[in-house]
């Protein structure tokens, strides 16, 4: 899975360029990321890791929204809870308060 995670991080790192070329880039990335989670290629925790602290907000939430379209509610709730991802840590600003870091 290391290669897959590196590929995902690479896409995230080029997101500003992608958004300049296509304003819907986050939506497209969210669709692909949700499909990867849905098919077991990456986990929700692996998806969340590079997005912690609200990086590229609201991309993580868009991914969850797309997952809800691909899987039923029961699957999504179970997968999310088992991932141990904190939604508070995925929001900009909130994470900085939580870990005691100043806002950027």
Question: Mean pLDDT across the stretch 50-70?
Answer: 96
In a domain, 34, yes or no: yes
In a domain, 43, yes or no: yes
Number of domains, the chain: 1
In a domain, 104, yes or no: no
* High-pLDDT (> 90) share of the chain, %: 79
- Is 0.95 surpassed by the pTM of this model? no
pLDDT tens digits along 17-50: 999 999 999 999 999 999 999 999 999 999 999 9
Rounded distance, CA 96 to CA 101, Å? 5
* High-pLDDT (> 70) share of the chain, %: 86
Question: Is 55 within 8 Å of 93 (Cβ atoms)?
Answer: no
Residue 81 sits in a domain of what CATH number?
1.25.40.180
Output the CA–CA distances (angstroms, integers) from residue 20 to 14, 23, 45, 51, 77, in the order listed: 10, 6, 28, 20, 34
Amino acid 104: pLDDT: 43
């Amino acid at each position: 899975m290391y290669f897959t995670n590196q590929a995902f991080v690479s896409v995230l790192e080029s997101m500003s360029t992608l958004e300049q070329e296509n304003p819907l880039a986050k939506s497209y990335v969210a669709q692909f990321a949700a499909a990867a989670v849905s098919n077991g290629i990456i986990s929700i925790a692996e998806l969340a890791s590079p997005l912690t602290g609200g990086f590229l907000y609201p991309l993580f939430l868009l991914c969850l929204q797309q997952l809800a379209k691909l899987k039923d509610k029961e699957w999504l709730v179970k997968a999310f809870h088992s991932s141990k991802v904190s939604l508070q840590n995925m929001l900009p600003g909130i994470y900085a308060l939580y870990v005691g870091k100043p806002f950027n």
